[in-house]
Amino acid sequence: MVTGAKDLTPIELNRLHPVIGTEVRGFSIADPGDGDRIDEIKRAWLEHPVLVFREQPICDTDQIRFARHFGELEIHPSLAHQASGHPEIYRVSNVDEAGNILPDKSNEWLYLNLTWLWHSDSTFREIPSKGSILHGIEILKNGGDTLFANMQAAYEHLDDQTKARLEGLTVIHSHDHIISLSSELSRRQDQGEYTELPPVSHPLARAHPETGQRSLFLSPHTMVAIEQLPDPEGRALLDRLIEHATQNRFVYRHRWREHDVIMWDNRCTMHMVTPFDNQAQRRIMHRTTIVGDRAPIPASGMT
Ligand code: OGA
Ligand code: MN
């Protein structure tokens, strides 16, 4: 049932960090109300690229319905992590669907374990994801926080010389690179089943397609090399930018509570999970991923 607008409480925004992370109050994902309410969330999201909704005991269908207001949904290339009833749900979980903790050395866990590294979602696609929505179903008492970095703020704080240096530079991103980052997984014959994706090229500095704001486009997960610079020069530049972009002043740390839902803009943020004991406790999150509207726009293409 859709609630009439007159019954709804006003949506309130509350910043959790000076540059990233904003709590949304007075909004129910399961029962959002009319299109105006969704438009309000869309507007808030453009200004606040990480929105946190508390106490949202939603089911997968509610999550999918809500996510579809923002675009089509991606199907994740890792087949083992798709929810059986809903391929649009990517299971970010150290537990299988039967409730058993994934063995430490299983392909499924080794792959998921790479979310402990900084990344942005779906950068291995020609058109990377617009945004992701993550529902915390079973959360941990210790560890397993999610960190979010604001890549617009990181870009703005670069010196002019570095900004000029980034103009025209492009980076090769590849899904295979994710697997190569696990020494264990990369050695295996059987690395799990994935939809095949060829490497793609993206600008190192990009402009947001809706606001025009410039940001660094980093995703250490998938970044193979800068096309115009030989290694080690290219690698050194990427490493310096990653270090710059992940300083505390640009990063919000989310300590999960049960049924938190976070919605982030992949076009101007990065995220990572802080380490936790994956054999002692269950951590179950369900993600929907919104398809991007267009390939990343180089920062220099925006005037
Ligand atoms: C993701 C991811 C974050 C988390 O869902 O895209 O990287 O907190 N995980 O598990
Ligand atoms: Mn992710």
Q: Read off the pLDDT of residues 253-277 as tens digits, 9 standing for 90 and up.
A: 999 999 999 999 999 999 999 999 9
Domain annotation covers residue 143: yes
* HSE (side-chain half, CA atoms, 13 Å) at 43: 9
pLDDT, tens only, 205-261: 999 999 999 999 999 999 999 999 999 999 999 999 999 999 999 999 999 999 999
* Domains in the chain, number: 1
Query: 10 Å Cβ neighbour count for 159?
Result: 8
Nearest atom of ligand 1 to the alpha carbon of 132? 6
Mean pLDDT of 274-290: 96
Report yes or no on 265 lying in a domain. yes
Alpha carbon distance 181, 2 (integer Å): 46
* Among the listed residues 223, 290, 288, 291, the one whose alpha carbon sits nearest the alpha carbon of residue 92: 288
Q: Does residue 178 form part of some domain? A: yes
Report the alpha-carbon distance of residue 163 to residue 22 in Å, rounded: 28
- How many other CB atoms sit within 10 Å of the CB of residue 261? 23
Domain residues for the domain of 227 are 12-292
Q: Whose CA is nearest to atom 2 of ligand 1?
A: 115
Give the pLDDT score at 6.
55
Q: Is the CB of 48 under 6 A from ligand 1?
A: no
Q: Is the CB of 74 under 6 A from ligand 1?
A: no
Q: Is 297 among the domain residues?
A: no
In a domain, 161, yes or no: yes
Check: CB of residue 16 under 8 Å from CB of residue 252.
yes
Percent of the chain surpassing pLDDT 90: 91
Q: What is the atom index within ligand 1 of the atom nearest the CA of 144?
A: 8
Task: Flag whether 300 is in a domain.
Answer: no
CATH of the domain at 239: 3.60.130.10
pTM: 0.96
Residue matched to tokens 């391929």? 87
Ligand nearest to the CA of 276: 1
Alpha-carbon gap, residue 221 to 22, rounded angstroms: 25
d(CA 94, CA 190): 19
7 occurs within a structural domain: no
Q: Does a structural domain hold residue 239?
A: yes
How far apart are alpha carbons 36 and 63 in whole angstroms?
19
Task: Give yes or no for residue 146 CB within 6 A of ligand 1.
Answer: yes
